[in-house]
Structure 1
Amino acid sequence: MLLTPFLRDLVSTGAVTLTSQPSAFEADDLHAADTLLADYHAEDALELPGTVPAFAAPAAHWAAQYVYHTLQLALVRELDEDMMQQYLPAYTGDVTPETIYSVDLTFRYLPDLLRLAKGLAPGDALVAQLQDIARQWPFSFVGHPEVDAAAEAAVLSHPALQLAYVDRIIRQQDQQRARQPHLLPLVRAALGGHAATLWPDFHDFILFAV
């Protein structure tokens, strides 16, 4: 069992243990991990307003393995294209509110790794891979400068995800996203009369937003 205890530790403490070299997971480990992710989805859903997107097991399954192998490969300095393709495959399903939220259960931990990897080796192949992932999954990577428009539209199409996304923009004080014409009214509405407390310089930068 490798993936299941990794996920349990990631969610509960943030301190994880993993093997030094990438390898395939056993079927019973993957099954247990899927059960754990479904439980995590149910618990996390209690923190979102309204009805949350349903659990998408294949998307959550892909993302959990992606995060595990990303951490492993961050320790391997000699990456080649074959290793990247084998252990960090692209997501091939539809990007929907359900997949976005299910992927985010573990992808929400990747921005910290991206910042660390950029600091250690900014030209590394893994950094380029993570930057591309950040663009594709904007809900999990608020603060990243590049955003896939279609993926963001899928986030905004779901009321609960839209509220959570705007809340993340405010908490991260992501000025670049908040300035966007389609997001600025949502940020304004969410801040209401609390901008001075939640985002003290909000009024200053929106003067240049449009």
Structure 2
Amino acid sequence: MDLPEFLIQLGENGLAVVSDQETIGGAVEEIVRGWDAVQRQNLPGTAPDLVPAAATWAAIRLYRGCQALVCREIPPAEMAAFLREPCPCPESPAVDYSVDLVFRFLPDLLAIARRVSTDDPLVTELLALARAWPLSSVGMEGVGTVNAARLLRDPCLRQLYIDRILLSGDTARLNDDAVRAAAKAALGAYPELAPEIATALQTTP
């Protein structure tokens, strides 16, 4: 299964198959544009523009991560070097949004990798990606400190980020003063909507 087929199956079923071949082939822009169109219908406000190159970069990382999970003969150093290759697009909310179209599946990949082995080098690399892309890693355990400043600058991504925190009960994200303030404002007079977050907001300085 090449990369476009992988993405189609992932989008339709939440599950996909990877091959052990080196070539990933094919263009993914049409697929991610379709995901973008669907995503925009359910977003709180207007999302940043899609950056196809960023989404494609993320798609290749996700595909390779899945390969590393099932093709255990891939040398850890080779796997790490590939997953650490930086996104070629300048940092921006638009890039965060575009990468998230694909990396929203990252928590599932990490959960499967941890079931194989918590000491697997793949887990370490996936956690590094999770820290670098905080919009996609809300709710993931063990991520550590993230920088959400870019997300908070964009009204749509800020609300999406806060909504995910409230929904997942990810209290670790409240270590950021700006995130904590935004979460408190989002809950308002309805703390029962996210009791874990509401409790943490009361106890977090």
TM-score by length of 2: 0.90
Partner of 1:25: 24
Structure 1's 13 and 153: CA in aligned 2 closer, same or farther, altered over 3 A? same
- C-alpha separation in 2, matches of 1:205 and 1:172: 13
Structure 1's 87 and 177: CA in aligned 2 closer, same or farther, altered over 3 A? closer
- C-alpha separation in 2, matches of 1:201 and 1:148: 20
Residues 179 and 206, structure 1, Cα contact 8 Å, conserved in 2: no
**Aligned-residue CA RMSD in angstroms?**
1.9
Indicate whether 1:109 and 2:92 are aligned. Answer: no
Out of 154, 158, 183, the position equivalent to 1:158 is 154
Residue type of the partner of 2:156? A
- C-alpha separation in 2, matches of 1:205 and 1:176: 9
- Superposition deviation, residue 85 in structure 1: 2.3
- Superposition deviation, residue 22 in structure 1: 4.2
Residues 83 and 125, structure 2, Cα contact 8 Å, conserved in 1: no
Residue type of the partner of 2:2? L
**Cα deviation digits, residues 41-68 of structure 1 (max 9, x gap):** 1221111122211010110011111111
Indicate whether 1:199 and 2:194 are aligned. Answer: yes
- Superposition deviation, residue 88 in structure 1: 5.9
- Superposition deviation, residue 3 in structure 1: 1.3
Percent of aligned positions with the same letter in both sequences?
31
**Cα deviation digits, residues 142-189 of structure 1 (max 9, x gap):** 13442332xx11111100000000000001101121353221221111
Residues 22 and 87, structure 1, Cα contact 8 Å, conserved in 2: no
Residue type of the partner of 1:169? I
* Equivalent residues in 2 for 1:45-124, closer than 5 Å: 45-78=40-73, 79-86=75-82, 89-124=85-120
Residue type of the partner of 1:2? D
Residues 184 and 201, structure 2, Cα contact 8 Å, conserved in 1: no
- Superposition deviation, residue 199 in structure 1: 1.5
Structure 1's 22 and 141: CA in aligned 2 closer, same or farther, altered over 3 A? farther
Residues 180 and 209, structure 1, Cα contact 8 Å, conserved in 2: no
Partner of 1:148: 146
Residues 64 and 106, structure 1, Cα contact 8 Å, conserved in 2: yes
- C-alpha separation in 1, matches of 2:195 and 2:146: 28
Structure 1's 25 and 195: CA in aligned 2 closer, same or farther, altered over 3 A? same
Structure 1's 148 and 202: CA in aligned 2 closer, same or farther, altered over 3 A? closer
- C-alpha separation in 2, matches of 1:199 and 1:14: 26
- Superposition deviation, residue 205 in structure 1: 2.5
- Superposition deviation, residue 18 in structure 1: 1.9
Structure 1's 84 and 181: CA in aligned 2 closer, same or farther, altered over 3 A? closer
- Superposition deviation, residue 192 in structure 1: 2.1
Unmatched tracts of structure 1, length 5 or more? none
